[in-house]
A and B are shown apart, each in its own frame.
Chain A
């Protein structure tokens, strides 16, 4: 960026608090802004308290757009309000989280504001006065380096890459109220219902720990073993493609080229052989544990710790060992789901495997 410039972060919140990705973006923004300011934009309803939180995590200026029409998120409402704000301020760089809402909004804003946009950013940096992003392409068979031109730049950043900005008590920010002149008739989508995916205590894409199952689990009933371990670890449960294709688990479990891309701290692959299409979605994990009885399985080629053994033997032992560890480390802590498997995979095993 020609000299340093202010960096803007589109904040996301859930349950009245910023999402983890927002803290990650604030940390990145601070690095990129250098001596310049970090701005955060918060849009929603009843979010006044959010400003303090964003300030504590590094925002110098918080733009608060408050309206019942801004929550739940809709493309039209947010594109109008955030779009007008950005059009007026013309920041050099806007960071957006690669979340359902971020991926929905950012390209629309880029089209509206004639901005450069890069999605799935695994890194964003300033090199020789240019903003350069890297991103996995071709189902992770290559990493692309992309440079932005001048003008407004929008970077949609993958979660779990940058460390969250730490909170500093007592930091305050300038709070600016964003005028919201929304005509309800201009909002052409209406959220009728949001139903929680019961099994997800934490969304797969945001989880620090993921326990994932493959063909080696042999059937839908054995995903209960993963639920047990995940319950103790506070982890999310995922799968490779075969269990989805066989109808053992719903599509939203799938990690890989045709599913989700995840970057957890710890990925435990159970009975997963490691087809390239699965690796495409999880090889960004910091630490990978593979449990597979086939010593030749490709997953062992990328696993930090490769356990050659029968998953049905190893998993219960691992669960017990972790339970002991957690029991020692915390008193109580997170409770495991009361009846693993019953609340989760609605229709698993009953859906027609196509």
Chain B
């Protein structure tokens, strides 16, 4: 089973961000970047499949020089190889363009299964996985919480509105994974040492046969801090009286009951 996992290097969600003065992005200086949380689960799932069925796990990322760290994290977890698509033009791509570029890279790798996180925690778009499936001409299953491999197919559980859907999908396929699919392992010390020695294949768009970067159809106009929610009223005192006040407020002020 040869598996490709798409990964992204994103700001650590635990730390505050600063919006750039021009509003067109965030200040990267002093920001800690990590392997995207959902992609980590993608890497974990790939490693578990490899441990059961054999094969290889190849990581792919499209991003700036620092993104090699996301690849190193995945390699330290146990992935075998990594491809880093790197070039300034990547910054101008939209998500569909990124998916095109990733598809071009994945086409050159023997692959029975492509795994991605269901979204990246920086822009929460959840576009690349399904778009990638389209460009690779593969079926897809998105936001998968459980994956079992069969002969030439896989069974995937997905949470849909108010229900769990069990889907049989023919392989090769693109699967985007949800958090609940597994518990991701920590890189081991030998893994970290090995990851340092594993060569990362760097590819430009020209290497992938892409002569001009795909034009973006959407443009970020700016980022603003979210509107501040005002703290409302505190209700304190004797519980029965507090509850009485609360229910009255929900009915008469907020009109939500």
Contact = CB atoms under 8 A, between A and B. Distances in A.
Contact of A119 (B122, B127, B145): B127
A184 B195 CA distance: 45
Contacts of B234: 295, 300, 306, 308
B33 interface: no
A119 B126 CA distance: 8
Could you tell me the dominant secondary structure of chain B's interface residues? mixed
B247 A258 contact: no
Interface in B29-82: 37
Interface residues of B, number: 87
Interface stretch (B105-113, B203-211, B216-224): B216-224
Interface stretch (B84-92, B186-194, B235-243): B235-243
Could you tell me the dominant secondary structure of chain A's interface residues? mixed
A274 B218 CA distance: 34
A354 B121 CA distance: 21
Contact of A194 (B37, B166, B180): B166
Given A188-B169, A188-B170, A277-B13, A142 B218 contact: no
Contacts of B133: 75, 108
A191 B166 contact: yes
Interface string A290-319: 000001000011111111111001100110
Q: How large is the interface on A (under 10, 10 to 19, 20 to 34, 35 or more residues)?
A: 35 or more
A197 B158 CA distance: 12
B96 A104 contact: no
B149 interface: no
Given A283-B226, A309-B239, A116 B217 contact: yes
B180 A116 contact: no
A194 B232 contact: no
A137 B232 contact: no
5 contacts: A79-B134, A99-B160, A104-B130, A190-B167, A318-B243
Interface of A: 14, 19, 72, 75-76, 79, 99-101, 103-108, 110-112, 114-120, 132, 135-149, 151, 153, 188-197, 200, 202-203, 205-206, 209, 233, 250-252, 254, 257-259, 265-266, 276-277, 283, 286-289, 295, 300-310, 313-314, 317-318, 321-322, 325, 354
Q: Which 8 A-B pairs have the closest CB atoms?
A: A116-B217, A251-B180, A188-B139, A111-B134, A111-B131, A100-B160, A203-B161, A354-B183
Given A110-B96, A251-B145, A304-B233, 5 more contacts: A100-B143, A136-B226, A142-B223, A287-B254, A314-B239
